Amino acid sequence: MNDAAATHRRRLPAAADVRGAAQLAQDATAGLVDLVEAVHAGIARAPGLPAPADGRTRGITGLVYRTVRGATRLAGGGVDRLLGLLATDLVPADAAQTLAQTPRTQPASPTREALVAALNGVLGDHLEASGNPLAIALQLRIDGQPLVLQAEALRLLLPQASPAVAVLVHGLCMSDLSWARGTAPVPGNGGSADADAASSSLAAKLAAAGYTTLALHYNSGRSIARNGADFAQQLEALVAAWPVPLRRLVIIGHSMGGLVARSAQHQAQQQGQRWPSLLSDLACVGTPHQGAPLEQLGHAVTSVLGATPYAKPFARLARLRSAGITDLRHGRLLDDRLAQAPLPAGVRCLALAGTLGEADGAMRQRVLGDGLVPLPSALGQHADPARALHFKPGHTWVGAGIGHLALITHPAVHAQLLSWLALPAPAAATT
């Protein structure tokens, strides 16, 4: 195989992507037909009479809609259009017919990961419920590659595993690769790219400080409680399989990631799991502990989806509300809407927030916060003392002029985290 052919082959989407896209297109087409028919039924009803309870039209009109649904089920309506979206700039147009038969031989591209993560944030609960291959399975990863949580596998993958582990947890519509936006893989942490570029990522800085840094990859459209429960199970398996005695566990969550981490700790503690006893620090970066306003949330989702030309066609889906988005709006951690999850005892809990202007306490900055999360919410403040989170003095930090997404990669945020999370210097050898 020549170089051009090999490159072309590596750029083909996986068969699962094609099947998932086809299924999503069919689901979207069927849903659109239902919506149009319901509107049609309401407009066509006789004055003074209610619209049909089932949202269906009758007679010849109803037959037309039933025919469209049938054709959609048989032909997978809209498949060609969505396949074109996945193939654009990834493969030549004349190669689309071979996509389903071509295995991926290289790790998924950041573009593909960003698109799928955005789809999962908006439609993730639907993707999971419908068995769509595009639904993200929760897993711990390193440099974008999933970890096999078995002792021998981890020993081979991480021969220099540290007794101190940091786990990064991304936010809504993001992926584990979001932590290294615009940077290379981390040297000494499973990567081998340019050290100057890699050193700007938080994972690289934590690795240099003595941590083995992992990241959680998850479907952010699922409920926070379900993701928290699954994350807790992953951490329990990680602790059991870690190749050296684990002495310190740190979790850093951005946005929704902080809520998922808090949910995981709370549920694990209730179930008597081992890992919470090893958790030393829980850092929440731009986390909406008290919820994020719906208007800002919808705008943020649209912005995330529109950040890449591959995702722009899906921006209209931001009007939909997945279980994850609904939970994020309210800062809900558990299935019981009335249940409260206070900050865990015995864990140093840290809150980092951003503001779009000077951090002078002005009402405008408190309300706008980082553009998505109001400042009081990021700091856990609430008028009801029973709902307020009481971060200890010196355990909160506010960065002026830092927007929500910029918190992920901003040097000042990294510097503050590293100052808190610095490991003690190893004891000097004695003779």
Regarding pTM above 0.75, the answer is no
Q: Does 353 have pLDDT greater than 90?
A: yes
- pLDDT at site 84: 43
Query: What would the pLDDT profile of 215-234 be if each residue is shown by its tens digit?
Result: 999 999 899 999 999 999 99
Q: Does 104 have pLDDT greater than 50?
A: no
- pLDDT at site 243: 96
CA distance 292 to 296: 7
Q: Is 238 helix (H, G, I), strand (E, B) or coil?
A: helix
Task: Give, to the nearest 10 degrees, the angle between helix 59-75 and helix 15-44.
Answer: 180
Q: Are 222 and 136 in contact (CB under 8 A)?
A: no
Q: Are 326 and 319 in contact (CB under 8 A)?
A: no
Q: Is 250 helix (H, G, I), strand (E, B) or coil?
A: strand
Higher pLDDT, 182 or 401: 401
All domains in the chain, ordered by first residue: 3-106 (no CATH), 139-421 (3.40.50.1820)
Residue 285 forms beta bridges with which residues?
254, 352
Q: Does 54 have pLDDT greater than 80?
A: no
Query: What would the pLDDT profile of 270-307 be if each residue is shown by its tens digit?
Result: 999 999 999 999 999 999 998 876 444 455 555 554 44
Q: Are 255 and 171 in contact (CB under 8 A)?
A: yes
CA distance 89 to 8: 11
CA distance 59 to 47: 18
4 Cβ neighbours under 8 A, 6+ residues apart:
none
Cα four-point dihedral sign 114, 115, 116, 120: positive
Between the alpha carbon of residue 4 and those of residues 9, 10, 11, 91, 423, the distances in Å are 9, 10, 11, 12, 48
CA distance 366 to 400: 11
Q: Does 244 have pLDDT greater than 90?
A: yes
- pLDDT at site 206: 97
Between the alpha carbon of residue 311 and those of residues 113, 138, 172, 229, 303, the distances in Å are 11, 22, 15, 29, 10
